[in-house]
Homo-oligomer: A and B are copies of this chain.
Amino acid sequence: MKRSLIWLCAAMLPLCAAAQTPGLGKRATRHAVERLMMDNPPRLGLDTAATPEQLAEWRDSMAAAMRTLMRHPAAEAAAPVFESKVSRPGYTVERWLTYPLPGYEVPVLVLVPDRPHPTRASVICMPGFGQTKELLAGEPYSCYDLSAQPDSVTPRGAMARHFAEMGLVAVAVDSPCCGELSDNGYFDYLASSRFLLETGWSYLGLSSWQAKVALDMLRNRADIDRNRIIAAGFSLGTEPMMALGLMEPDIRAFVYNDFMCRTRERALVLNAARDNGARPYPNTDEHLIPCFLTTFDFPDIVAAFAPRPVIMTEGGMDRDFDMIRAAYAKAGAPDGATCIHYAKYADPADRQRLDTVPSGLDMDGFFRLANVDPPNHYFKAEHVLPWLRDLLESWE
């Protein structure tokens, strides 16, 4: 689908601002490479003027592009193997071994409720940076054999346990290099990302493939309805959920527990020089997928989930929420996208309402303009669970 000229111009605006990286000499290579980024806006960026029919076509292109970028192996993974289980109040935790690559054994936890929800809905959960599947399951952080008693109160971040307590079969998957997949406890994401990038793959490619293999395991369970699978991600874990969201059209709903960010724009405006003169890139190589940001950005991806229900729990810019809601409305689901701001910015009067983010920011300055409250970045059970309750009701 061809981008409309109007949208193209709108998309360029923040980039023009970014071009004025404060104090950057005109000969600096950085100037040239920023310009390269600006001259290559996402080729599949949402065209807000598109018709519903064009949007349907666009969603197909988005899915195809994500498949190309994620480079999932053509070979099927070996069948998962059941390893053990323990009983917890109200649910059972099963440990399964999955095999995303030959010789790569990835344990996965499956929380099976004693009283399944009548909809037989289920959920796949991915944790944040450095977190473990055990944390999602409400087990002690690194007790892989489930031998220690968990807290009797469900910890705030125990996404999968919250869901199981609502009657959902909940699968918790580690991110690569985390927990049991770490290098003896060292979260080895940088060197492993580099190895992956050298071979033409990426951390997100592997991460989403691990999740896909667990998703297939979930799909094959007799105790769930495979048309009622939800994908839930926290922070780093939202990325593989976004990837699967585009690639797997039968995922029925999404929990996006992070702020909604145009990551390309962020890279271009977060350019205040530190004391040593450095203007570092805002994230490290576990987020690098060559040509991802020249294809789409996060708000485009979530907009392409339409009409499948999504909850976004940690705000961001009204601009992006408006864009996503408009895409949902055109897909016939005007209430499909639930957009929740951080409590600190819940009142619209407290929010910045920018169309473009100015250049020359440091991380704190960026967060302020993007309505992000970093100390309160956590799994928002208080919003997700009521949303889920309503969703399940609508499925009954």
Contacts and interface: CB of A to CB of B under 8 A. Distances in A.
Interface of A: 23-37, 40, 100-101, 103-107, 176-177, 180-186, 188, 190-192, 194-201, 206, 264, 267, 273, 276-281, 285, 288, 290-294
Contact of A280 (B36, B184, B190, B291): B190
A107 B28 CA distance: 11
A30 B27 CA distance: 39
Most B-side CB within 10 Å, residue of A29, A101, A278, A293: A29
Contact of A191 (B30, B183, B186, B194): B30
A51 to B, nearest CB: 30
A11 to B, nearest CB: 15
A177 B107 CA distance: 44
A292 B198 contact: yes
* 3 tightest A-B CB contacts, nearest first: A186-B277, A32-B104, A33-B195
A343 to B, nearest CB: 33
Given A198-B267, A198-B293, A267-B195, A103 B35 contact: yes
Contacts of A267: 194-195, 198
Contact of A25 (B183, B199, B200): B183
A222 B188 CA distance: 55
Contact of A101 (B36, B200, B288, B294): B36
B294 A37 contact: no
Nearest to A293: B198
B36 A183 contact: no
Contact of A279 (B33, B191, B288, B290): B191
Contacts of A101: 32, 35-36
Contacts of A177: 28-30
Nearest to A288: B197
